[in-house]
């Protein structure tokens, strides 16, 4: 098969797979230089400009109603703490929680109306927007967490050394797409077409491929990255954050996972979204100041061992909360970067940031 044909077939596979089984991905990035920058609180947009601003709660916004909140079991975005510590219930809300194992299930649950709220990686949220799924990004959860992991004794010293090798990827996921977009800029190396890309659907599947020796590297994110590194048998070849900085020329921490709501829910019930952002802030503070509480919640959801959770937590410095204008600008830069250099985003809408601020983002009222 020629390289051109292979690329065309892979692109078609990725596009169709994303429409049916959109995946969330992330990995292990460098820590932000300033925690205050990483964890920004919500602000209110000026009327008639920027993201849609919160209005008054609608008649259908009721704390007597149960809201359905789905999130990825291995998403690693502190949502586990909100869930297990009942931070929304303590604010008076009734929540039907659902943890999703297969990555594909999260987008399907939201797109089909089975979930009112989800956490989702930014690039996949962008692809959902392209595909016509109504959504509003109203909060942030975690910065980039991705990495390329290889066995400790592997001879590769940089990403292009994997040319022609078997590499495990989730092609419809943000980690794979973002690392690949940056790699194409930095090295002129396409991870999806210049290697023998082996497709998986979830992080544990990628880890299993690497452990069994079926692949020589994987594109993965926390907490699986730390679970592998902790064994001493694997190492990080390159971090997603490092590739982003080299490709974009920016040291700003990209947002990996954001919170999404249906547009009608944002309009009718902005106080719920504000309380989710405030609960995320509290989860951030628990992560920082009460690690034993955070660890207990994470272990309950992820089924990691306490030692694995503690080590992965120690490697994660990118927990975020709220939604600021600066974070919106960063996400728009990420989306444009992936439109220009990646293979997933296709629309020219990513070149119109002012339109996107109105269509895609929603800043709830501050609750502190």
% pLDDT > 90, the chain? 73
Q: Among 198, 19, 241, which residue's Cα sits nearest to residue 124?
A: 19
What is the per-residue pLDDT for 3? Answer: 41
All residues at 6 or more sequence positions from 357 whose CB lies less than 8 Å from its CB, including other chains:
50, 51, 328, 332
- Whole-number Å distance between alpha carbons of 29 and 105: 25
Phi/psi class of residue 213: alpha, beta or left (left: φ > 0; alpha: ψ in -120 to 50)? left
- pLDDT higher for 252 or 273? 273
Specify the pTM. Answer: 0.83
The CA distance from 61 to 265, in Å, is 8
Beta-bridge mates of residue 94: 66
Question: pLDDT of 152-183, one tens digit each?
Answer: 999 999 999 999 999 999 988 889 999 999 99
Residue 313 has pLDDT above 80, yes or no: yes
Distance, CA of 63 to chain centre: 28
Classify 82 as helix, strand or coil: helix
Classify strands 166-169 and 196-199 as parallel, antiparallel or unpaired.
parallel
For residue 330, pLDDT over 70 is answered with: yes
Closest CA to 256 of 81, 14, 76, 8: 76
Residue with tokens 């090798």: 165
Residue 86: the pLDDT is: 98
240: nearest Cα among 31, 17, 15: 31
**Is the Cβ–Cβ distance between 236 and 28 less than 8 Å?**
yes
pLDDT digits (tens, 9 = 90+) for 74-111: 888 999 999 999 999 999 999 999 999 776 789 999 99
Give the span between the Cα atoms of 256 and 229, in whole angstroms: 21
**Hey, what domains does the chain have and what are their CATH numbers?**
56-144+254-363 (3.40.190.10), 145-248 (3.40.190.10)
What are the beta bridge partners of residue 137?
260, 361
Average pLDDT score over the chain: 85
* Residue 348 phi, psi (nearest 5): -80, 0
The pLDDT assigned to 122 comes to 94
């Amino acid at each position: 098969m020629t390289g051109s044909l292979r690329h065309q077939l892979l692109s078609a596979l990725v596009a169709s797979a994303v429409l049916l089984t959109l995946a969330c991905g992330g990995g292990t990035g460098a820590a932000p230089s300033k925690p205050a920058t990483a964890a920004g609180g919500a602000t209110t947009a000026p009327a008639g400009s920027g993201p849609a601003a919160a209005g008054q709660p609608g008649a259908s916004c009721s704390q007597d109603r149960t809201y359905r909140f789905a999130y990825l079991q291995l998403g690693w975005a502190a949502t586990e703490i909100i869930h297990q510590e009942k931070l929304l219930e303590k604010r008076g809300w009734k929540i039907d929680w659902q943890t999703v194992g297969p990555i594909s299930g999260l987008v399907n649950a939201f797109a089909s109306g089975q979930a009112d709220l989800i956490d989702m990686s930014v690039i996949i949220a962008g692809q959902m927007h392209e595909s016509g799924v109504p959504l509003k990004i109203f909060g942030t959860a975690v910065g980039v967490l991705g990495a390329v992991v290889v066995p400790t004794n592997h001879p590769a010293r940089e990403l292009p050394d994997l040319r022609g090798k078997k590499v495990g990827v989730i092609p419809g996921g943000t980690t794979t797409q973002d690392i690949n977009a940056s790699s194409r800029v930095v090295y002129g190396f396409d991870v999806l077409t210049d290697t023998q890309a082996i497709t998986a659907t979830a992080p544990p599947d990628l880890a299993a491929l690497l452990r069994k020796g079926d692949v020589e590297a994987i594109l993965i994110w926390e907490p699986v990255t730390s679970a592998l590194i902790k064994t001493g048998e694997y190492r990080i070849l390159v971090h997603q954050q490092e590739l982003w900085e080299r490709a974009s020329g920016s040291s700003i921490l990209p947002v990996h996972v954001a919170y999404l709501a249906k547009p009608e829910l944002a309009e009718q019930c902005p106080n719920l979204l504000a309380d989710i952002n405030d609960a995320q802030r509290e989860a951030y503070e628990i992560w920082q100041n009460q690690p034993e509480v955070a660890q207990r919640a994470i272990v309950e959801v992820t089924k990691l061992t306490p030692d694995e959770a503690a080590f992965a937590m120690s490697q994660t410095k990118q927990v975020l909360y709220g939604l600021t204008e600066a974070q919106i600008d960063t996400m728009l830069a990420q989306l444009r970067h992936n439109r220009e250099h990646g293979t997933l985003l296709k629309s020219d809408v990513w070149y119109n940031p002012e339109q996107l601020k109105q269509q895609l983002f929603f800043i709830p009222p501050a609750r502190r």
